[in-house]
Structure 1
Amino acid sequence: NLPSPATPANPSAFARVQLPPDRRAGLLGQAGILTVTSYPNRTSPVLRGKFVLDKILGTPPPPPPPNIPSLAEHADGSAPTTLRSRLELHRSNPSCASCHALIDPIGFALEHYDSLGRRRESDGGQPIDSAGRLTTGEAVNSPVSLSTVLATARPDEFHRNFARTLLTYALGRGLDYYDRPTIDKIVATAAARNHTLPAYIDAVVASIAFQNQRPDSPRAPAATTSGPVAFNLNN
Structure 2
Amino acid sequence: LTTRERMEIHSENPTCNACHRFMDPIGLALDNFDVTGQWRLRENGMGLDTRGEFYDGTPVTTPKEVAEALLRRPVPLMRNLTENMMAYALARRVEYFDLPTIRQIVTDAEDEGQYSMQSLIVGVVTSDAFRMKRAAELAIDQVDN
Q: TM-score, normalised by structure 1?
A: 0.48
Taking the TM superposition and a 5 Å limit, the aligned residue runs for 1:178-197 are: 178-193=97-112, 194-197=114-117
SS of the equivalent of 1:115 reads coil
Return closer, same or farther for 1:171/1:120 CA change in 2, 3 Å cut-off: closer
Deviation of residue 176 (structure 1)? 3.5
Q: 1:110 aligns with which of 24, 30, 42?
A: 30
The share of aligned pairs that are identical, in percent, is 34
SS in 1 for 2:23: helix
2:79 to 127, 139, 160: 160
Residue in 1 aligned with 2:45?
125
The Cα of 1:149 is off from its aligned counterpart by 0.8
Q: Which runs of 4+ in 1 moved over 6 A?
A: none
Q: Distance in 2 between matches of 1:195 and 1:85?
A: 37
User: Structure 2: how far apart are the matches of 1:207 and 1:98?
Assistant: 32
Q: CA RMSD in A?
A: 3.1
**Structure-2 separation of matches of 1:116 and 1:218:** 41
TM-score between the two structures when normalised by the length of structure 2: 0.72
Change (3 A) 1:187 1:123: same
Structure showing the higher helix proportion among its residues:
2
Q: Which runs of 5+ in 1 are unaligned?
A: 1-79, 221-235
Equivalent residues, number: 138
2:49 match: secondary structure: coil
Residues 210 and 108 of structure 1, relative CA distance in 2, 3 Å threshold? closer
SS at match of 2:27: helix
Q: Structure 1 residue 140: deviation in Å?
A: 0.7
Are the aligned partners of 2:3 and 2:31 in contact in 1 as well (CA < 8 Å)? no
Whole-Å separation in 1 of the counterparts to 2:34 and 2:110: 36
Q: 1-side partners of 2:7 and 2:88: how far apart?
A: 36
Paired letter, 2:22? L
- 1:142–1:172 Cα change, 3 Å: same
Instruction: Return the index of the structure with the highest Cα Rg.
Output: 1
Instruction: After superposition, give the CA deviation of every residue in 1:49-95 in whole Å (9 maximum; x if it has no partner).
Output: xxxxxxxxxxxxxxxxxxxxxxxxxxxxxxx6x4424544x268474
Indicate how the Cα distance of structure 1 residues 83 and 212 shifts in structure 2: closer, same or farther if over 3 A, else same.
closer
Residue 173 of structure 1 and its aligned partner are, at CA, apart by 4.5
